[in-house]
Amino acid sequence: MATISTPASISPLRQRMQHDMMMRGLLPRTQDQYIRHVRRFAAYLGRPPDTATAEDLRNFQIHQHESGASAGTINGAVSALRFLYTVTLRRRDLARGLIATRRPDKMREVLSVEEATRLLEAAPGIKYKAALGVAYGAGLRVSEVAHLKVDDIDSERMLIRVEQGKGARDRNAMLSPHLLQLLRLWWREGKRRGVMFPHGWLFPGRSYTDPISSRQLHRAVQEAAEVAGIRKRISPHTLRHSFATHLLEQDVDIRVIQVLLGHAKIDTTAVYTKVSTRTIQAVASPLDRIVALMEGKAPPG
* Whether residue 237 lies in the annotated active site: yes
Check 127, 240, 241, 246 and give the catalytic one.
240
DSSP-derived secondary structure for 156-200: TTTEEEE-S-GGG--EEEE--HHHHHHHHHHHHHHHHHT---TTS
Residue of 127, 237, 241, 246 marked active site: 237
The question of whether 108 is a catalytic residue gets the answer no
- Is position 218 annotated as part of the catalytic site? no
Beta bridge partners of 173: 160
Q: Which of 91, 166, 218, 219 is catalytic?
A: 166
Active-site residue (options: 127, 171, 241, 263) = 263
- Alpha carbons 31 and 235: distance in angstroms, whole number: 24
* DSSP secondary structure, 249-270, as one string: HTT--HHHHHHHHT-SSHHHHH
The active-site residue out of 34, 128, 136, 272 is: 272
Q: Which residues contact 244 (CB under 8 A, 6 or more apart)?
A: 139, 257, 260, 261, 269, 272
Which position among 141, 147, 171, 241 bears the catalytic label? 141
263 given a catalytic annotation: yes
Question: 147 an active-site residue?
Answer: no
Residue 141 annotated among the catalytic residues of the structure:
yes
DSSP secondary structure letter of residue 10: S
- Which residues are designated catalytic? 141, 166, 237, 240, 263, 272
